[in-house]
């Protein structure tokens, strides 16, 4: 018989002829709870993401006048929304970063830049010694060359001059007359040396004291590597810049300072300069090795089957981060006292791999030999493209991989994942260098879509997304010395505002911020 009445909180079972409390699943029913299925929002397409990024950059550029107006009303802090406050100076810097001027140096399209560094050096000429800025660039065809910045070769007899052409103005639709034009580049005859293979890396050595008290410090030595070819491996070289260099008729005296430290039967992808121990730290297709720059003695601190594409020295020079082809970033202790034994400790590092076609995940392993910190190992989705540690606290480092991911990690908490991510980067197979400004506020990278992007390191906000090159901007170096700008025709004076050099197979670009 059915019950005469319903009891709140109970239900009646006619087979057992009794009431049961309504607690959890009904006895005999499925153990799974009924789920309310809500439709998932569709993932935005790549074109929608790009339009979102462009919109964000436009809003950033358009809020300068509003920011100044609010500053006048509210003082030091700016009410960015109803829920938070932001620092006026920080917001203004973001706006300035989103509005650079860019010049392309006409005639540099045949260089094929693969490595680039800006130097402040003493140059010896027939008229005497003077201090100047030079660019040292390596190319994919193996050439290594010096180019003087801003003096139009006035101290040299002959050479090649490259003039800047504005390709992006701070004021949309305006020309060079509204920007501070950078100086030209001049490459003296004989200032180029052809090496055996592609220049894979250029690194600056420690600074030495300047001759004059008001001069910028100069770099004592330059470290560079060649990639290697099908018939031979790569090599490690140094050039001494302690004494003034001669880029004129005595150019052979400059190149005579070039010294081959050692050669490998390996591909040399990258290198770092260990200032403390005066060593080169090399990343190869067989692992990582250190090379004493005086004796040429070398020793392996990491052995692996995955190429070392990127490196960064951290932890006060005791640890090096190695970015591998398989997507791992491992922390290795490379101090000499750990290298006394010829046998390296073997490690099996676990990681989770995914099969995108099936949508499944599984645990995989890879083997390494060396003084590894397994708990500090991270695994990115694809091959590591670039690493950059932050000098204010080298526990933090930026890593990019060839699937387009750019992330900020804290070495003390790598198991918790990335601290910050930077969206919009485009990459699939190219080694593209990350550029961090001298004040470590922003990170810059080119992309395979030939666009340049700049993000705020702290917030992850995309500040700039622009295309002014027809090839990938794969190399970047910031200019931290005083540089030349034009005041009148053929007259150049120094300017201390921030600038960066960008290199691609198409040529050389210069980016300048107020």
pLDDT tens, per residue, the chain with 514 residues:
555 556 666 667 766 677 766 554 433 333 444 333 344 445 555 565 566 666 666 566 555 555 555 554 454 444 444 334 457 778 888 888 999 999 999 999 888 999 999 998 888 877 788 888 899 999 999 999 999 887 666 666 688 999 999 999 876 655 545 556 788 899 988 889 999 999 999 999 988 766 655 566 778 899 999 999 988 999 999 999 988 988 878 888 899 999 999 999 999 999 999 999 999 999 999 999 999 999 999 999 999 999 999 999 997 788 999 999 999 999 999 886 544 456 888 888 876 665 555 566 666 778 899 999 888 899 999 999 999 999 888 889 999 999 999 999 999 888 889 999 999 999 999 999 999 999 999 999 999 999 999 999 999 999 999 999 999 999 999 986 554 444 444 444 444 568 999 999 889 999 998 7
Confidence (pTM): 0.80
**Which regions of 319-405 does DSSP assign to beta strands (E)?**
319-324, 328-333, 346-355, 360-370, 378-379, 384-389, 396-401
Among 160, 151, 117, 106, smallest CA distance to 132 is for 151
Residue among 292, 270, 266 at smallest CA distance from 280:
292
Any idea which residue has 């709140």 for tokens? 8
What is the token pair recorded at 121? 């050096």
- Torsion sign over Cα 132, 138, 139, 145: positive
Computed over its alpha carbons, how large is the radius of gyration of the chain? 29
At CB < 8 A and 24+ separation, what contacts does 421-426 make? 421/460, 422/455, 422/460, 422/462, 423/49, 423/53, 423/460, 423/462, 424/49, 424/50, 424/53, 424/453, 424/462, 424/465, 425/400, 425/453, 426/451
Token pair 């009891």 in the structure block, residue = 7
Q: What own/partner pairs with CB < 8 Å and gap ≥ 24 does 352-359 have?
A: 352/379
Q: Of 498, 494, 384, 414, give the one whose Cα is nearest residue 149.
A: 494
The gap from C-alpha 464 to its chain's centroid, in whole angstroms, comes to 16
Neighbours of 245 (CB within 10 A): 23
CA distances from 299 to 290, 448, 480 (A): 5, 36, 34
Q: Which residue has the tokens 């919009």?
A: 424
Q: Which of 477, 474, 428, 469 is nearest to 451 (CA)?
A: 469
> What class does CATH assign to 101-512?
mainly beta
Q: Which residues pair with 131 in a beta bridge?
A: 122
Residue the block writes with tokens 């938070």: 84
**191 and 145 in contact (C-beta within 8 Å)?**
yes
The residue ranges of every structural domain in the chain are 47-97, 101-512
* C-alpha closest to that of 404 among 387, 380, 427: 427
Cα 188 to Cα 26: distance, rounded to the nearest angstrom: 89
Six-digit token pair at 151? 């003096």
CA distances from 298 to 199, 264, 269, 281, 334 (A): 20, 10, 17, 10, 12
- Contact (CB, 8 A) for 305 and 367: yes
- Residue 205 near residue 222 (C-beta atoms within 8 A): yes
The H or E element containing residue 61 is: helix 46-62
Q: Supply the pLDDT for residue 479.
A: 81
Q: Rounded to 5 degrees, what angle do the CA atoms 91, 95, 100 make?
A: 150
Tokens of 427: 């990459």
Taking the C-alpha atoms of residue 150 and residue 163, their distance in angstroms, rounded to an integer, is: 10
Q: Is 1 exposed, middle or buried (0-12, 13-18, 19+ CB in 10 A)?
A: exposed
Q: Which residue has the tokens 């005999």?
A: 28
Cβ-based neighbour number of residue 487 at 10 Å:
11
The helix (run of H) or strand (run of E) holding residue 199 is strand 199-204
- Cβ atoms of 322 and 288 within 8 Å: the answer is yes
DSSP 489: T
Taking the C-alpha atoms of residue 395 and residue 272, their distance in angstroms, rounded to an integer, is 17
Cα 240 to Cα 431: distance, rounded to the nearest angstrom: 28
Q: Where are the beta strands (DSSP E) in 150-191?
A: 159-162, 164-168, 185-188
Alpha carbon distance 302, 332 (integer Å): 8
The pLDDT assigned to 392 comes to 85
CB 508, CB 184: distance < 8 Å: no
């Amino acid at each position: 018989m059915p019950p005469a009445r319903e009891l709140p909180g109970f239900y009646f079972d006619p087979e057992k002829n009794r009431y049961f409390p309504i607690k959890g699943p009904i006895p005999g029913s499925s153990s799974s709870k009924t789920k309310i299925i809500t439709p998932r929002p569709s993932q935005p397409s790549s074109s929608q993401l790009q339009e979102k990024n462009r919109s964000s950059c436009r809003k950033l550029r358009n809020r300068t006048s509003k920011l100044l107006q609010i500053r006048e009303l509210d003082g030091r802090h700016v009410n960015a929304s109803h829920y938070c406050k932001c620092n006026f100076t920080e917001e203004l810097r973001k706006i300035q970063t989103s509005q650079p001027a860019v010049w392309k140096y006409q005639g540099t399209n045949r260089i094929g830049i693969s490595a680039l560094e800006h130097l402040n050096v003493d140059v010896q000429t027939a008229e005497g010694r003077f201090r100047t800025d030079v660019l040292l660039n390596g190319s994919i065809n193996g050439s290594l060359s010096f180019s003087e910045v801003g003096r139009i070769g006035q101290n040299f007899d002959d050479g090649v001059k490259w003039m800047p052409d504005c390709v992006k103005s701070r004021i949309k639709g305006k020309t060079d007359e509204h920007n501070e034009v950078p100086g030209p580049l001049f490459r003296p005859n004989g200032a180029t040396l052809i090496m055996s293979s592609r220049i894979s890396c250029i690194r600056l050595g420690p600074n030495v004291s300047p001759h004059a008290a008001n001069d910028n410090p100069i770099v004592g030595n330059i470290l560079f590597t060649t990639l290697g070819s099908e018939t031979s491996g790569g090599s490690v070289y140094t050039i001494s810049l302690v004494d003034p260099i001669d880029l004129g008729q005595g150019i052979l005296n400059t190149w005579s300072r070039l010294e081959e430290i050692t050669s490998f039967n390996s591909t040399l992808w990258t290198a770092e300069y260990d200032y403390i121990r005066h060593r080169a730290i090399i990343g190869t297709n067989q692992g990582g090795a250190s090379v004493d720059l005086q004796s040429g003695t070398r020793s392996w601190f990491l052995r692996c089957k995955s190429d070392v594409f990127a490196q960064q020295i951290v932890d006060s020079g005791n640890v090096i981060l190695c970015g591998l082809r398989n997507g791992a970033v491992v922390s290795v202790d490379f101090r000499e006292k750990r290298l006394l034994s010829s046998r390296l400790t073997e490690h099996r590092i676990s990681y989770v791999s995914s099969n995108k076609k099936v949508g499944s995940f599984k645990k995989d392993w890879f083997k390494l030999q060396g003084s590894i910190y397994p708990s500090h190992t991270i695994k990115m989705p694809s091959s590591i493209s670039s690493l950059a540690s932050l000098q204010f606290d080298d526990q933090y480092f930026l890593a990019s991989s060839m699937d387009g991911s750019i992330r900020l990690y804290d070495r003390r908490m790598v198991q918790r994942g990335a601290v910050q991510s930077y969206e919009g980067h485009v990459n699939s197979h190219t080694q593209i260098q990350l550029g961090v400004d001298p004040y470590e506020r922003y990170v810059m990278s080119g992309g395979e879509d030939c666009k340049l992007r700049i993000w705020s390191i702290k917030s992850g906000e995309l500040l700039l997304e622009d295309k002014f090159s027809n090839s990938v901007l794969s190399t970047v170096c910031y200019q931290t010395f005083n540089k030349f700008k034009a005041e009148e025709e053929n007259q150049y004076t120094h300017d201390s505002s921030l600038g960066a050099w960008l290199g691609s197979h198409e040529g050389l670009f210069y980016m300048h911020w107020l």
